[in-house]
Structure 1
């Protein structure tokens, strides 16, 4: 249900905020790493997490299916930040409530074509998305300096559920 999807993403955003407060970015927030529970959701798979320490390096990417949930700035080599996790939360929220990705159908059978489509296609929010959710997804995938924190996203989602 819409309520369960919003509650689950809110729980995951709260978990991401806790990581951010400890100086860690998850780097792989996507539907496959959201575990549904009776109370909402849990964020799993910290395998690509990175501690935000000067001199730390990026050690890898998730599978090619993760690309559509990854901040394009990170794909272009920029340093991972909490704002990148918020982009991923927005993409995951969009998928959870529409069943569609921000880039439409991707040719996941061919990693090169998948990357090419993500690089060449601007993310598009589903036209039928409720205005309050559309605004929230746009805030998450917009200008990194203006994105909400993960905690702020969680608060806004919880307000929509209540």
Structure 2
């Protein structure tokens, strides 16, 4: 008659647990990557990969009405790829203040794109580096004053030094990409 010893059953538990962790990790990293970015015919790429959600929160009150929201928050899972919206140059890269981990991308047409609350920067992203639309520049997070909120990209846009509502810009890019699919 075949006897099963207790020791092999106990040893199987850690191996099973390690296997599940590896599967979950591999599955999560694939899901969070964001897939292949789509560059529309105007050369723009939506700045967040994978599944995301956002709405127009331009000038919404923050900190009990002490300040206004000069951007659009795009929500996604931690680690989701953040893409350069357009060809440009990283003009600032820093950590600290309200935004936490942040970058600015400047383009030749006078626009500046602000990415903040990042979880991290993509390798090679430094001040002065040229980026192409669709290039990974960072990863979704909730750094800075967003550490108690769900992960999101605070996306801001300045045109010739003036803040503009990024929501219509994001919708235009999203709609153009949907037409291409």
Tell me whether the two structures share a fold, i.e. TM-score over 0.5.
no
Bigger proportion of residues as helix: 1
Higher Cα radius of gyration:
2
TM-score, normalised to structure 2, is 0.28
Bigger proportion of residues as strand: 2
Between the two structures, name the one with larger relative contact order (CA 8 Å, sep ≥ 6).
1
